[in-house]
Structure formats: structure tokens, C-alpha cells
Structure 1
Amino acid sequence: MITPRFSCSQTEESVTVSCYCPSIRAADVEINVDETLVTIHVNPYFLRLNFSKPLLEDDDNSSANYDPSSGYLTVCLIKVNKGEVFEDLDLLAKLLAPRKAAQPPSIEVLSSEDIPEDDLVSRTENLSLEQEEFTRAEENDWQLPQEVPSSLPDFTLTPQAHYGFLNMHCNYLRHATQTENEINELADDAEVLTETERRSRRLAHEKEKWDEEHYMADFMDDEYIQELLHWEHPHICDTSSFQYTEKENLTMLRLPRKEYLATDRQTHDLYLTLITILFSYCYDTRTTQHDPTPESAWTMGNLTPAFTALDPPHSSQYTGGPHTFLAVEIQEALVPSYRRSLIFPLYRSYILAEKCREDVAAILKKGKRTVMRCLLEMKDIFDHHEVYYVYSKIWLDDFCLWTQADADDELLVSLGEALMRLKVDKDSIDLGLEELEKAALATLERESDSDDESIISDDSDES
């Protein structure tokens, strides 16, 4: 079945779904409404939408019209509660996401003190099979003594490792060395290394590639970097009403249909990973002034630890719950991004990294729609690369879908505010930046003093 292109709009009383279904028979259209779930089927098209509030199908004011000349099927459904606002009608991937799994049935505890025996027997016999199982479990109180197990080293039954979004993927990097994947720092071992081993490989590679002279050269001669610092990102300074483009809508429609059952800890780490991905995006857009180059995929991939070493942030300061972030956690997540921005790309500047952090904060404060737009731009760059497209498959596709369907707008804004207040100390980057900068300035002073002495000497000779 084909998912048609579609859009949704609303009035005070209704929600309208417009689908592009060319060359169909209007008489074959089937529309079903189950409270918040709406399905539209006409061969070969099928559309299932999960709205945030209930709708009516059989209301006299509901309608469906098909225009053969344009190929658009327009379905108007009446709101159960007039005047309700349906949120996120422009987030197409969220509307297409499956309905959340139902909670397990609750158990009703019956007291026999005030109920006649015959009535109690009758009620018990009418319990469903599922309720009877819960009741038997409660009566027998099947419990065993439990204690928190001691920590054990990583152990797997097979050498196959998983990675990517929520560790859902594998086998994408099995032949990485044969595809000339210059982003991948793990070679073919990416399929077998544990998370601890990946981090060790990343740190060792960063240490090997660190170039003090390159950093000092950019520190002393930063004229072009100063120009980059004054550039303004169009998504940040744009104050017009937000609306996705047709290309963005089509990309969102092609996203996979998934529902993510992440734990609180996993959700917490996803927000931290999102910061690092946006940092790489902001570095590339600032250094190219939002005009991607053939090197953009390489740059963004190398600046993202989750891509190059399959090493996303895992907070060591986690305090419980997905919605509480400490400043030390955010800094801990950003330090690898800072380090890599000073080791791998063309322009290596601490103040440039600080500016990218501010860009990420401003994007987060604008909410999930702007975040989604940035992720879609990044995805488009990776999708069109013959080798690096795999990072869309294992990270960006899922992040785009998760951002639309599950990311919390208020949390993104608060995270952006915390990020704006944050200052990543040079000492935490662990590259000896303070000493290098002092040495460079001292060298400059000596050269300046030497030049002054030469001028004085020349003047004396002339006199």
C-alpha cells in the first residue's frame, strides 16, 4: 500500500484531511473513525492518522469530496468537543505514528464484608480470563527474595554489537573499510566492539590526530574566523510564521513507521545526543554560511561522536527521570564535540566552538519544528552521499521521527536556556589550550619586542 501525500487543517468545529490520490474511484473510498484514530483506504492508497483528540465520522456535517481533475480527496471530520485545538497537525510523522500501547488492565479488589455470598460468587464468575490470572497471582503472592545484583563486565552471547538510535541497528558497518568510509574510526570492528571499547578507540584517535601547531596558527591568525562569528543563522533570526516546505513534507512522509519504547534513562540520553548532533550541524552551517559543500557530510560526521565512533553521550550524573538536566551533564556531553571541532575540521577555534554552542541553544529555544528543520537539512546531506548515507539510517531517520512524535517542546526550550548559560571550560577539554595560548601570546610579544629593538637600532645608525 502507498501512503499518499497529505496535509491537515482545522477550524473551530472540524478537522480537514487533504490527500493526493490520483486516478481512483471515489465510490471505493473507505473511511473509518475510532475516536482519535482515522483510517482512509482506497486502492492502492492507505492512510492511518492518530490525532490528539477524538473526532466523529457519522455526524451530519462530516463530508468527503474527491476532485478528479486535481487528484485530491478532502475529508472533513467533526470534533467531538467543539472549539478544541488539535496540536501538531503539521507534524506529519507524529500523526502517522502508531497508537500508543494500552496499559495492562487494572485489578479491582472486591471486599466481601458487605456483599452477600451469592453476589460475590456471581461477580467472581463474571471476571474475564485475564482478570482471573491477575487475581490468582495476587492470592498466591508468587514472590521470591530479590537483591540488587553486583555489576558485571559487558557480556554477550554472540560477538554482534548493536549501535545507533536506542541501539536498534547492526550490520550497517560490516564492510566499512571496503566502502572508503572515512568517518568511521572503528573500521570493521564496529560490529563487535562494546560501548567501553568504542569510547577508548575514540579517545585514542583524538589524541593521535591532535595538532597543536594548527590550533595555535588559527588562534594567532583568526581574521576569517572573526568573520564567521558575525554570521547569523537564518533559522534563528527568522521571525516569520513557521511552515514546512513541500520538500520537507515529502521527506517526513518517507520516514519509517515506528514507535519507540524508550526508558527514562534512554530518553534522557537522547536529548543529550541531540545536542551533539545539532552542534555538528551548527559548525558546518556557520563555516559554510548555510551553503553546504561536498565536505559537509564528512565534517558533520567527524564532529559527532555518535557517528564516527558510535559513542553517544551516556550521562554519569543521571539523577532519574528524563526531564532533569544538570549543567555538568550537558558539559560532559558537549566536551567531545568541542574536542573534535579543535582536532579535525579546517577551522579550529575555541571561540568558534562557543559560538556553535550558542547556535544550538537558540535553535532548541525555537522548539521542535525548527529542530526538525535542521535535522531534515542534515539528513538530506547524508542521504545524497554514496557512503555516509548509512548515518541517516542508523541515526537521523529515527531522530527525525522521534523529534516530531516524542520530543517535548517545553523541555527543548528549557534545555536551550540551560545551554545558553553554560560555559565549557578549556581545562575540561583536556588539550592544554590555556598553555598553548599563553605560549603563542608570549611568542608574539617577543617578536614584537624584537621588531621594536630593530627599529631603535636602525634609528640610532641613521643618527
Structure 2
Amino acid sequence: MITPRFSCSQTAESVIISVYCPSVRASDVEINVDGNLFSLHINPYFLRLNFTNSLIEDEASTAQYDPSTGYLNVTLTKEIRGQEFKDLDLLAKLLAPRPTVHEPIIEVVSSESTAEDPDGLVAETQKLSLHEREILEASQNDWQLLQEVPSPEQPSLRVNARYGFLDLYSGYFINVAYTENEVNELGPEAETSTLLERRQRRVEHEDEKWDEEYYMADFADDDYIQELILWEHPHLSDANTAFNEKENAAMLNLPRKEYIPSTQQTYNLYLTLATILFSYAYDARTTQHDPTPESAWTICSLTPSFSALDPPSYHNVSSINHSTLEFNPDEISASFVSSYRRSLAFPLYRSFALAEKCREDVANILLKGRRTVFRCLLETKDILDHHDIYYVYSKIWVNDFCVWVQAYASDERLARLGGAIRDASVTKESIGWDLERLEIAVRDSQSGEQREVDSDDE
């Protein structure tokens, strides 16, 4: 557990405890007040403070979390109004464990009932089993975790990295070592690595996870994958675009923000949106639009801007004119290469044909317009928000995309992007894993087995 940075102040009525705990889910915070003992737990942070006087929780007590600053401000009422709490600036004293009162140790000479023990309690205690004795002893101890005064932030010569929607975020992966985030490919270096370093790490990780035998097995036995390819997404066949009550409620909970992106940033946002929709389409198609507990992992693993904080564009062509927002076919293909690679290296079903179908889904979703795109983003947000770890990607990417698509994206540009994706071509050679050779080897093996069966039958 991490002891967070904190400070305490007071008014005549209450004590205010300000705790710095960035990148946490405020709904998971646990606060307990027992007289002069205050404790707070929210993974991975734990804080226990011993005050000189007693506090109470009443209607005036509050706890407010500001995700933009990462501070949780807890206001507790003084049991005796107007009483002064001394030494609130002495952090080591507040963190010190509560002194334990040791009772005198008495040696038991005899287990027989005496005048001092008429009920024979000593004898009954000795009859307890070892497990019962452990429970009794534990109940008599005041277990307290050791805490140290958190060190102040040290100035760094390296500027913290910015990431997420329009590079608006930082500090969300400071304590990533304390959370089991299987999606994060950067570890603690997410806060310091450059975009080039993230991209290199992403490509290396994809190469490490690539498994030729897995791909060949799915290519040889693809009956179920063919069923997934034939499935039709309900959003693409449903003409009703009216939002339901759940979607309207989610809409009202979105942040109120304004964005002023440059033309280049706007261009990249459209490309990033396409890669997020690809991951959504893959999960929707492989689960038949019925999300599973693995859906959050699947979506995050297949999205480069989530797992490696590496959004498009990936095509280094200086001649491309982004000011007109005309989507270049080469850049569209390059943006999907990373999505294809990840769909062939990480999830359960690894098929190039399935990846092609998911790209077709993305094109059709975009061609349907903002309402359908927004609905798909809301479903993605709902999946991520209900996960204990991956909700962070909803905070730094999906929330903003939901707002941006509603207020800033145009149906015309979405349709242009959808048309460009539909007409684009992602070749097997561009994946870099010699897929053609592996598929030829599978076909040769299958044809050889078929010839042997025919010979035996004859």
C-alpha cells in the first residue's frame, strides 16, 4: 500500500483532510472514523491518521474528488465544536500508530476454579482449540500498518509525458506497479516515454506475442470463425437511430468540454476513432454483441492508443496535405496495420479474414453517421467503465471522443472516412509476419492429407 501525500487544515466546525490520489475510482473509496482515528483506503493508497481530538461523521461531513487535480478533500465534523486540533502540520505525529495499552501478564498456576475465578473462565480458555485461540488473540490486538511520511515530489529533468485525447492527460500511470494492468505495455515508463519510444515498444511487443502455430491452427480449422464473419451487426441493419433511456442518461454524465484542435490534430482524431471502432467491432462480432468479462481486455488490447498510448497517424509521408482532411489511402492502410497485427497476436480468434470483416464494419458504422458512431462509443465506454482497471482508458480517451463526436465531428467527414476505409487495402505483406507462406503451408498440408485418404479408400 502507498501512503499518499496529504495535508490537514481546520475551521471552527470541522477538519479538512486533502489527499493526493490521482487516477483512482472515487466510488471505491473507503473512509472510516472512530473517535480520533481516521482511515482511508482506495487502491493502491492507504492512510491512517491519529488526531488529538475526536471527529464524527454527520450530515455536514463530505468527501469530494477532483479528477483533474487528483485530490480527494474529506471534511469531518469536530465532536466538540470550536475545539482546536493541535499539530495538524506535524505529519509524522499524525501517521504514528495509536499507542497500545498492555495489560499485566498473569501466570496461571492452577486451572481449578478459585474465589477469584468462580466461573472457571481460565479453565475454559485453556480448552479452546488452537484456531479459536488465534481468533481470540487477534481480536485483542490493534493491527496497524506501518506508515512513513511521503516524500515530496522531486524535480525531474525530464518532462512528464502527455497522452490521451489531444494529449490532455498525464499522471494516470504513476502507480501502475500496484495495479494488475495486463493491457499496459509501457509499465511505469508510460509517464516519461516519448511517442517514438512507445511506438517501438508496441511493435516489439506485437512481434513477441505473434505465434505462427496459433495462426495456422485457426486458418486450418476456421468453421466457427466463418460463422463470426457471416454475423451481422444489429446497428448496421437497424434503421431506428433514437437513443434509449440508458444512452440518454450516459449522455448527461459526459464531461462538459470544449476543444480547439489544430487541423493536424483533427485529422489524427478521425484516424484514432477508426482504430477504436475496429476494436469495438472485433469484440462485438466475436461476442455476437453480448459483451463478456473479457470484452474490456479485448478492446484495450486491440487499440494501440490504449495499450501503448500510441495513436495514429503511423504513415510518415510529408507530401500528405492534412489541411483539406482528405484521407490518404496509404495512411488509412497504415493506421489499420497496427490493428490487424494486434488482432492476429493477442485475442482468442486470430484470422486475417476476420480482421478484414471488422474493417468493413468500421466503414459501415462511419457511413451510418454520428448517431451510430456515438452509440458504439457509448457501448465501449460502458464496457470499460465497469472494469476495475481499464476504466482509466475511458477517462483519457473514450469520454472525450463521445463529446467530440457529438459536437465537432461532421457526418460528411465521417462518411468520407468510411468511404476511404471501405476502399482501402491492407495487404498481408504489410503485416510483416509472412502470412502468405503460412497459409500456403496449411493448404499443402490439408491437400496432402486429402490425397492420403483418397488412396486408402481406393
Secondary structure, counterpart of 1:321 in structure 2: helix
Deviation at 1:173, TM superposition (A): 1.2
Pairing of 1:23-42 with structure 2 (within 5 A)? none
* Counterpart position of 2:295: 296
* Counterpart position of 2:236: 236
Deviation at 1:453, TM superposition (A): 3.0
Give the aligned residue type for 1:437.
E
**1:351 matched to 2:353:** yes
* Counterpart position of 1:173: 173
Secondary structure, counterpart of 1:342 in structure 2: helix
Deviation at 1:251, TM superposition (A): 1.2
Deviation at 1:164, TM superposition (A): 0.5
Pairing of 1:30-429 with structure 2 (within 5 A)? 158-240=158-240, 242-314=241-313, 315-317=315-317, 318-321=320-323, 323-429=325-431
* Counterpart position of 2:457: 455
Give the aligned residue type for 1:300.
I
State the Cα RMSD in Å: 1.2
Pair 397,359 (structure 1): closer, same or farther in 2 beyond 3 Å: same
Give the aligned residue type for 1:221.
D
CA contact (8 A) 1:382 1:389 kept: yes
For these two proteins, the number of residue pairs brought into alignment is 300
CA contact (8 A) 1:382 1:391 kept: yes
* Counterpart position of 1:103: none
- In the alignment, the residues of structure 1 paired with residue 233 and residue 176 of structure 2 have an alpha-carbon distance, to the nearest angstrom, of 34
Give the aligned residue type for 2:176.
A
* Counterpart position of 1:459: none
* Counterpart position of 1:58: none
CA contact (8 A) 1:265 1:322 kept: no
Give the aligned residue type for 1:302.
S
Deviation at 1:159, TM superposition (A): 3.7
Deviation at 1:442, TM superposition (A): 1.0
Bigger drift between 440-449 and 341-350 goes to: 440-449
Q: After superposition, give the CA deviation of every residue in 1:342-377 in whole Å (9 maximum; x if it has no partner).
A: 110000001100110110000000101110000000
Q: After superposition, give the CA deviation of every residue in 1:249-292 in whole Å (9 maximum; x if it has no partner).
A: 12111111111111000000000000000000000000000000
- In the alignment, the residues of structure 1 paired with residue 197 and residue 402 of structure 2 have an alpha-carbon distance, to the nearest angstrom, of 28
CA contact (8 A) 1:305 1:311 kept: yes
- In the alignment, the residues of structure 1 paired with residue 324 and residue 235 of structure 2 have an alpha-carbon distance, to the nearest angstrom, of 27
Give the aligned residue type for 1:176.
V
Normalised to the residue count of structure 1, the TM-score between the two structures is 0.63
Q: Percent identity?
A: 58
Give the aligned residue type for 1:270.
L
Deviation at 1:452, TM superposition (A): 2.7
Bigger drift between 413-422 and 184-193 goes to: 413-422
Give the aligned residue type for 1:356.
C
Secondary structure, counterpart of 1:291 in structure 2: coil
CA contact (8 A) 1:256 1:397 kept: yes
Structure 2 alignment gaps of length 5 or more? 1-155
- In the alignment, the residues of structure 2 paired with residue 335 and residue 183 of structure 1 have an alpha-carbon distance, to the nearest angstrom, of 19
Bigger drift between 379-388 and 248-257 goes to: 248-257
Deviation at 1:448, TM superposition (A): 1.9
* Counterpart position of 2:115: none
Deviation at 1:322, TM superposition (A): 5.2
Deviation at 1:455, TM superposition (A): 3.1
* Counterpart position of 1:61: none
- In the alignment, the residues of structure 2 paired with residue 288 and residue 322 of structure 1 have an alpha-carbon distance, to the nearest angstrom, of 38
Deviation at 1:325, TM superposition (A): 0.7
CA contact (8 A) 1:268 1:322 kept: no
CA contact (8 A) 1:267 1:322 kept: no
Q: After superposition, give the CA deviation of every residue in 1:203-237 in whole Å (9 maximum; x if it has no partner).
A: 11011110001100110100001111111101000
Give the aligned residue type for 1:208.
E
* Counterpart position of 1:436: 438
- In the alignment, the residues of structure 2 paired with residue 357 and residue 332 of structure 1 have an alpha-carbon distance, to the nearest angstrom, of 13
CA contact (8 A) 1:164 1:395 kept: yes
- In the alignment, the residues of structure 2 paired with residue 303 and residue 350 of structure 1 have an alpha-carbon distance, to the nearest angstrom, of 14
Q: After superposition, give the CA deviation of every residue in 1:51-105 in whole Å (9 maximum; x if it has no partner).
A: xxxxxxxxxxxxxxxxxxxxxxxxxxxxxxxxxxxxxxxxxxxxxxxxxxxxxxx
- In the alignment, the residues of structure 2 paired with residue 455 and residue 254 of structure 1 have an alpha-carbon distance, to the nearest angstrom, of 67
Secondary structure, counterpart of 1:292 in structure 2: coil
* Counterpart position of 2:103: none
